[in-house]
Chains A and B, each alone.
Chain A
Amino acid sequence: MGTSDIVAGVILLALSAAFFAATFSFPRLTVALSPTVFPRFVTVGLSLLSLALLLHSLRRRMGRRRTPPVGREQPAAGSPATGLSFALRFLLLAAAGLLYALLLEPAGYLLATPPFLAAAMLLFGERRWPRLALVSILGAAFLYAVFRLLFRVPLPRTPWY
């Protein structure tokens, strides 16, 4: 947990510094609330808090004090575990989502959704091929029928339909 807090602290510190620096390019207003005021309050606040997290985690890591890890208590439900296979599945699911978002408009809903569903099912451990094929094809077709045809949600069409 310590390393993740250090990484989070560094990322958030860099993010808030970049956002703070960007406020200097904002126009300044002398009447009412200048568009720089609130962003500076937020970015300064976030950087101070991130710095506190970073220092707390570093201090704990260096073992000067036996301080409890920050926010160790996890919610009881769905506490995620770690492990390489999980990390790989996680990355592949994120990549599948990204690819789906990229392909949705050029390929159309009916063409892009079944492979995405199939990939997600595989990543969730589905190994029965008939079920995989049935759910991914019929699932996409059902969603398309309900939303495109019944509720008239303009879903992206395939090149030929």
Chain B
Amino acid sequence: MSALLQGLAYVFSPVHFLFLVVGTAAGILVGAIPGLSGSTGIILLLPFLPTLEPAVSLLAMSGIFCGSMFGGSISAILVSTPGTPSAAATVMDGYPMAQKGEAGKAIGIALIASTIGGVLSTLCMIFVSPQLAGIALEFGPDEYFALMLFGLTVIASVSGASLLKGLISGFFGLLVGLVGMDEVSGYARYSFGFPALMSGLPLLPVLIGVFAIAQVFSNLTGVGKQQKRYQQRIRGVLPSWQEFKRLLPVIVPSSFLGVLIGIIPGTGGSIASWMAYNEAKRFSRDPDSFGKGNPAGIAAPEAANNGTTGGAMVPMLTLGIPGDVITAVMLGALVLIGVRPGPLLFTQRPDIIHSLFVGFMVAQFVMFGLGLATIRLWPRLLLVPGSVLYPLVLALCFLGTFSASNSVFDLFVALAFGLIGYFVNRYGFSAAALILGVILGPLAERELGAALIIAHGDWSQLFRSPLALAFHGLSLLSVAYSLARTRRRKKTTG
């Protein structure tokens, strides 16, 4: 308890609180602008990170993470264009409400649902993370290897439209992760004579390329199209108490659904929000009203996508495995400033963990306050022309890449992965699976190497620990589930 009080004191010191507020505001902004997302927001923060304390960096990143989830709903409601993929389900009922002149109320419902989802998911993070970290502290290399293998099989379940393309993306990520010095033999694999490649492909330029630069290239498709705008005046910001009471039975279960989805590595807000939307529709007394401006159709996905935030932080903080795309970028950013998430972080730097717990909770209320205060400004803020915004974002991506290492080589890496990321998205492959492969591949190989050294090269040792066996079982289940899902989908498509 005293640790949390210390965290509270840390978060509420003026400068730290300012970073949290600025981070949350920036998160709402990048979330609201179509073509930018929470991961872009964190990437744009990168040049500042080396000048900040690790705990402050985490506060700012948490603000961006939570803010962007809500921000995505604003453009989804006002102009029928989800600001982030997680807000795609919000369009279904948010836009029809805005068309009826209830945009203010729709954003208000999204804000309330996001805040409740965020608060519940933060509570889950605070209670679950230390327990999981305590268990993870007991892991040996064989158990870690089994866990990494499980993380990799999750690739199959996050692969979206095509299992085959998801697996290809994951294996391509593993291939990328192979470049560089092998830890056991010290041999530089696939460095092709480039000294810069001897330490491997740098993670941050790869992340910046795949998620931010690729997005800027995708935005070229919007050139010449008329920018959508919301013409009506925004009024009636909050729902009535009766409406709120009616929505609560939708918001609470959707939030917990979001937490659960968030904890599963490699998933994220978009999966959770669609699942919550479908469940809300299924359990509704009036399912036909969904898609025509039913407030529950906004509350469910928004509670769920903010519900994933705390959930996605759990595997990232305790195991070093990102829960979703944004936490993958966050992981890369933390490694850049010398913080290695994992169970040891809980024992070695509890100050960081506690200020994060408090900061994450406070971010929800900051988001609520900022959201409420700025609701009427959004129709104007969404009019920033893409011809100004995206070139500046691209310049910031390059600046962030360069400032992380002072190396021009990293710019080439970022650009190359920007192009790869564009084609990955364009042709139905999975960027999330690719990054999961890049991050987890080297970790899995390192743990396998360590486990085999301890076992004197005896591979059967990998299957002796009950915990490792449980993870292997989960891996098999994950693959079987994905195969069954693909087969079912093939049957329904004929």
Say if A and B assemble together.
Answer: yes
Interface positions of B (Cβ within 8 A of A) = 34-35, 47-48, 50-51, 81-82, 84-85, 88, 91, 160-162, 164-165, 167-168, 171-172, 174-175, 178, 182, 184-185, 187, 189-190, 213, 215, 217-221, 223-224, 270, 385-388, 390-392, 394-396, 398-399, 402-403, 406, 408, 411-412, 415, 418-419, 422-423, 425-429, 441, 445, 448-449, 452-453, 456-457, 490, 493-494
Closest to B386 in A: A124
Is the CB–CB distance between B189 and A116 below 8 Å?
no
- Taking each of B184, B391, B403, B419, which has the highest tally of chain A beta carbons within 10 Å of its own beta carbon? B391
Is the CB–CB distance between B406 and A121 below 8 Å?
no
Is the CB–CB distance between A104 and B217 below 8 Å?
no
Is the CB–CB distance between A147 and B411 below 8 Å?
no
- Complex CA distance for A120 and B396, rounded to whole angstroms: 13
Is the CB–CB distance between B395 and A101 below 8 Å?
no
- Complex CA distance for A76 and B51, rounded to whole angstroms: 37
Residues of chain A within 8 A (CB-CB) of B81 are: 77
Is the CB–CB distance between B178 and A38 below 8 Å?
yes
Q: What would be 18 A-B contacts, judged by CB atoms less than 8 Å apart?
A: A16-B175, A31-B453, A31-B456, A33-B453, A42-B178, A43-B175, A45-B174, A53-B165, A68-B493, A72-B161, A73-B160, A75-B85, A80-B422, A94-B419, A97-B415, A101-B411, A104-B411, A153-B47
Q: Does A151 contact B (CB under 8 A)?
A: yes
Known: A32-B449, A42-B441, A124-B220. A135 touches B428 (CB 8 A): no
Is the CB–CB distance between A49 and B189 below 8 Å?
no
Q: Does A46 contact B (CB under 8 A)?
A: yes
Is the CB–CB distance between B427 and A22 below 8 Å?
no
- Complex CA distance for A32 and B178, rounded to whole angstroms: 17
- Taking each of A33, A56, A139, which has the highest tally of chain B beta carbons within 10 Å of its own beta carbon? A33
Closest to B178 in A: A39
Residues of chain B within 8 A (CB-CB) of A33 are: 184, 445, 448-449, 452-453
- Complex CA distance for A77 and B84, rounded to whole angstroms: 7
Residues of chain B within 8 A (CB-CB) of A125 are: 223-224, 386-387
Residues of chain B within 8 A (CB-CB) of A136 are: 391
Known: A19-B175, A26-B187, A117-B395. A131 touches B388 (CB 8 A): yes
Contacts of A89-103 to chain B: CB distance below 8 A: 89-90, 93-94, 97-98, 100-101
Residues of chain B within 8 A (CB-CB) of A53 are: 164-165, 168
Least distance between A10 CB and chain B CB atoms (Å): 13
Is the contact region of chain B dominated by helix, strand, or loop, or is it mixed? helix
Residues of chain A within 8 A (CB-CB) of B91 are: 76
Closest to A150 in B: B51
- Taking each of A35, A72, A100, A126, which has the highest tally of chain B beta carbons within 10 Å of its own beta carbon? A35
Q: Does A123 contact B (CB under 8 A)?
A: yes
Known: A42-B174, A49-B168, A117-B395. A73 touches B428 (CB 8 A): yes
Least distance between B65 CB and chain A CB atoms (Å): 18
Is the CB–CB distance between A126 and B411 below 8 Å?
no
Is the CB–CB distance between A46 and B85 below 8 Å?
no
- Complex CA distance for A154 and B50, rounded to whole angstroms: 12
Least distance between B132 CB and chain A CB atoms (Å): 27
Residues of chain A within 8 A (CB-CB) of B34 are: 77-78
- Complex CA distance for A117 and B398, rounded to whole angstroms: 11
Least distance between A77 CB and chain B CB atoms (Å): 5
Is the CB–CB distance between B182 and A35 below 8 Å?
yes
Apart from A12-B168, A104-B411, A153-B399, 20 more pairs, CB < 8 Å? A1-B428, A33-B452, A45-B171, A68-B493, A71-B165, A79-B221, A80-B218, A80-B426, A89-B223, A93-B217, A93-B220, A98-B412, A98-B415, A101-B411, A121-B391, A124-B223, A147-B399, A147-B403, A152-B51, A155-B403
Least distance between A62 CB and chain B CB atoms (Å): 18
Interface membership of chain A positions 1-27, coded 1 if the CB is closer than 8 angstroms to chain B and 0 otherwise: 100110010001001100100100011
